[in-house]
A and B are shown apart, each in its own frame.
Chain A
Amino acid sequence: EVQLVQSGAEVKKPGDSLKISCKISGYSFTMYWIGWVRQMPGKGLEWMGIIHPLDSDTKYSPSFEGQVTISADKSLNTAYLKWNSLTPSDTAIYYCARHSGSYYDFYYYGLDVWGQGTTVTVSS
């Protein structure tokens, strides 16, 4: 069974750093792009970026470029989302999800398997 299991909820203070994880099982980690999606309280879905674990090629939404870092560790079958300095506006649920399809045509297939979400709360 394909599973994306995310790390647990986090409560942080403004200015803190944070790295959340998404551990993949049930398929070869290096086959598919992994993406991150933000959902602020009561709001819609926002696509943040993706990484291909094979070569760590990464694409960011312009809204998130420079604000977060997406990475992957092939040895651990795990993708990460990192902040260097959190602000209250980073309070949200963050989902990882698998982009099915090949390295070059993933955009034809959508996000077919999702993690359960990680709730991040940033408050002083």
Chain B
Amino acid sequence: SYVLTQPPSVSVAPGKTARITCGGNKIGSKSVHWYRQKPGQAPVLVIYYDTDRPSGIPERFSGSNSGNTATLTISRVEAGDEADYYCQVWDSNSDHYVFGIGTKVTVL
């Protein structure tokens, strides 16, 4: 089964840039989605198809995907960005989705 690797935690100061990585074998050939989940809430899609933002998601959120690493970048981090972030891809070999373990973003 396809495995996605995320760092358990990332810390960032307000106003700085947070980068959350998602590693997987040739992940650059797959479509990566990213979700934000705040405590007690359902997840929210923040990036789909590697780089696209759903309506309502600020431009501060961006994505990239190449080789064996996809990255979610949050620019000008705000206190409200503190949450768990999950990457997700479709494993076409076994016809199912896979989530990463999630990265807890802490705003210092």
Seen from chain A, the residues whose Cβ lies within 8 Å of a Cβ on chain B are: 35, 37, 44-47, 49-50, 59-62, 95, 97, 107-112, 114-117
Contacts and interface: CB of A to CB of B under 8 A. Distances in A.
Interface of B: 1, 31, 33, 35, 37, 42-45, 48-49, 54, 84, 86, 88, 90, 92, 94-102
Contacts, number: 65
Contact of B96 (A47, A110, A112, A117): A47
A111 B34 CA distance: 10
A109 to B, nearest CB: 5
A60 B54 CA distance: 26
A47 B100 CA distance: 10
Contact of B42 (A49, A59, A109, A114): A114
Given A46-B99, A111-B43, 9 more contacts: A35-B97, A44-B86, A44-B100, A45-B37, A49-B96, A95-B42, A108-B31, A110-B49, A115-B42
